Amino acid sequence: MAPLRIVPVFLLLASAALAQTYGVGRAPTPAELAQDITISSTGVGLPPGHGTAAEGKVLFTQKNCVVCHGPDAVGGVTSAPNLQAKLGPEVDAWDRKGGGDGIPVKAPYATVVWDFIHRGMPLGNEGTLTPNEVYALTAYLFAINKIIPEDQVLDQNNLAKVKMPIGDEWVRVPDWRPKTPRLAGYPY
Amino acid sequence: MDPKRSTRRELLKGGALAVGTVAAGASVGKIAFAETPASGPAPSLPSYAANEAPMVPASEDVIAYGVRSHYVTSKRIPANGRASPDDFGLEFHIATPLQDSVGTIQASSLHYVATTKGSFIPDIDPAKHTLMINGLVDRPRIFTMADLKRFPSVSRFHFIECSGNSASDRNKTVQESHGLTSNAEWTGVLLSTLFKECGLQKNANWFVAESAEEIKGASTIPINKGMTDVIVAYGMNGEPLRPQQGFPVRLIVPGFEGIFNTKWLRHIKVVDQYQLNMNDFGHLRRDPKEAALGYQIGPKSVITFPSGGQKLPERGWYEITGLAWSGGGAVRKVEISTDGGKAWHAAQLKGTPNPMAHTRFGFMWNWEGGEHVILSRATDEIGQVQPTVEEVAKALGVAYTPKFRVPMNNNTIMPWKVARDGSVTNGLPPVPTGA
């Protein structure tokens, strides 16, 4: 059988690759490492800064967020999502409509919302917001969705501690193994 | 005009005698004359001059890079009826013309395209582009494109498929229903080679792959996958990646949903905890079954001929052909039904099926002019079978109605309906209005 012949060759190659490094590439400079904008769910990687909902409300207009997300972030202007859940905070986050209704409510971690704004907004001018502005916009979206009090100051120390409506009730990605069905007991 | 060419043209125009001369010269004369009947009027020999195509000198551009025939007009189209440019005036998802595809790879110029949140395509100077790997590694590294090409390379066939590549009853063609998947030969360095170079630490459980496009889209991927078969690819179908495919370097995550195959790759961070990043949002689920279906693409196939919008011109033999693939491994078997699923027949697999790659299949069929619903069903090497939509509902414990939607990527069997006049249409049951 062909697979029997292939297996030893594959193992040989794999073990050769595992046994060797090539000394190619160099260590990153501090400036290059500073371009790492990854934020962990526990807040590792968050830059120092702070902001409030009141500041965020002003920025939401100033930074043209309203052009796509609409006044009061309720959407309806373009296909950009509505950011203010129409349903009240008492409604189960999972019962909200698709991706459009109140995306910040559906985030499992507060850091996800911060990271989303920091990476991807405003569309066309990404990377131009300062850390303080991102904290303020995050606070604004959380306040209008009743996730935090309107007067709370968000900063690098308390952002990851914000309790999100979705809580812990979402599924972690199952462990992945090669040549394994994606869902045990599901033959398709 | 070239004097040699003129001479040949004159010869061809010279009629039977000239044809005989040319044909004999090409050693095919006997075959042509052997079909002459022994009695009856002398048949007129085919006039080659009548079929003669104009001789067109190649321009410098054609000589330098080549173009397809102007008779071949197959094109990509905006996916899901969404205008492209979209609301933001930016490109979005573009579907490949599977109905015209032959073999197993898509030409690079026809490979399907998806962009994150409609972002623009970055114009990256490869001489300035770098890939950084940091996080839970002993030796964080910056690699230039030249560095990446010094590592041992691999060239492998893999499909990529958008999770949204899900057929609906509204789709008129296979391009509309299945055009967000393509297959290509990808060349690059295995991510496991780079991880070894950097030295993974014990608690390295995930890696975050980040793009250089403006929104810096990022996905979180299991380290197991990264150490198994992920390619940091710089080549596609024998040349550098195209800009729409991530030039100068992208991730190929074989068998995973398209969004994980990060284009314009600039940064990989090795982490311990799952990080729900921008591009991971669509995978957020409450139901563990749905979540599990959101990474590895299931076994899938589709008939590309005869498919929606095509027409069988007359009764007789045709090769039903199409593509099969699976995120779980190589395609092991494809079956064809021409009676809506009552009887199934083994299709021929063309060539050796590659793991997580499109495989071409064919089945000779003598169409006698009746109405038929034709189906294809793929089985992969780990025994996963392409389901019907009813089977998915049952397996997930949901009552099937026409409103039922397969969670994540829809890998269910696609029916095409062949009418008595040979025309082919979408055979999915219509979804009631308001569904």
The residue among B82, B71, B68 whose CA lies nearest residue B176 is B82
Interface mutation vs chain B, best among A7, A11, A22, A24, most B CBs within 10 Å: A24
Residues from chain B that touch A188, judged by Cβ atoms under 8 A, are 298-299, 384-387, 391-392, 395, 411
Q: What was the pLDDT predicted at A168?
A: 81
Tens digits of residue pLDDT in B282-314: 888 888 888 889 899 999 999 999 999 999 999
Q: Which of A74-88, B108-122, B127-141 bottoms out in mean pLDDT, i.e. has the lowest?
A: A74-88
**Is the confidence at residue B35, as pLDDT, over 50?**
no
In percent, the amount of chain B with pLDDT more than 90 equals 71
Alpha helices in A24-151 (DSSP H): 30-33, 53-62, 65-69, 103-106, 110-120, 131-144
Mean pLDDT value across residues B228-243: 97
Tens digits of residue pLDDT in A151-165: 999 999 999 999 988
- d(CA B188, CA B408) in angstroms, rounded, equals 29
In percent, the amount of chain B with pLDDT more than 70 equals 84
- d(CA B56, CA B139) in angstroms, rounded, equals 58
Q: What was the pLDDT predicted at A100?
A: 55
What amino acid occupies position B23? A
**Is the confidence at residue B359, as pLDDT, over 80?**
yes
Q: B6: which 2 tokens?
A: 């003129």
Q: B390: which 2 tokens?
A: 């009813």
Interface mutation vs chain A, best among B129, B142, B266, most A CBs within 10 Å: B142
Give residue A138's Cα distance to chain centre: 12
- d(CA B23, CA B32) in angstroms, rounded, equals 8
Q: What was the pLDDT predicted at B85?
A: 46
**Is the confidence at residue A8, as pLDDT, over 50?**
no
Mean pLDDT value across residues B363-383: 98
Interface mutation vs chain B, best among A18, A44, A67, A173, most B CBs within 10 Å: A173
Backbone torsions φ then ψ of B373, nearest 5 degrees: -110, 120
Are B269 and B210 in contact, with CB atoms under 8 Å apart?
A: yes
What amino acid occupies position A115? D
Which run of H or E residues covers position A83? none
Closest CB from A38, A169, A182 relative to B208:
A38
In 10 A of CB B372, how many CB atoms?
22
How buried is A153 (Cβ within 10 angstroms: 0-12 exposed, 13-18 middle, 19+ buried)?
Answer: middle
Tens digits of residue pLDDT in B241-289: 999 999 999 999 999 999 999 999 999 999 998 888 878 878 888 888 8
Q: What was the pLDDT predicted at B274?
A: 87
Residues from chain B that touch A171, judged by Cβ atoms under 8 A, are 285-288, 290-292
Q: What was the pLDDT predicted at B49?
A: 62
Task: Please give the mean pLDDT across all residues of chain B.
Answer: 87
N residues, chain B: 435
**Is the confidence at residue B25, as pLDDT, over 50?**
no
- The full set of domains in chain A, from first to last, is 48-161 (1.10.760.10)
- The full set of domains in chain B, from first to last, is 3-57 (no CATH), 77-284 (3.90.420.10), 300-426 (2.60.40.650)
What amino acid occupies position A36? D
A167 to chain B, closest Cα gap in Å = 11
Mean pLDDT value across residues A163-177: 83
User: How many contacts, defined by CB atoms under 8 Å, are there between A and B?
Assistant: 183
A3 pLDDT band, cuts 50/70/90, is very low
Tens digits of residue pLDDT in B315-332: 999 999 999 999 999 999
Which run of H or E residues covers position B260? none
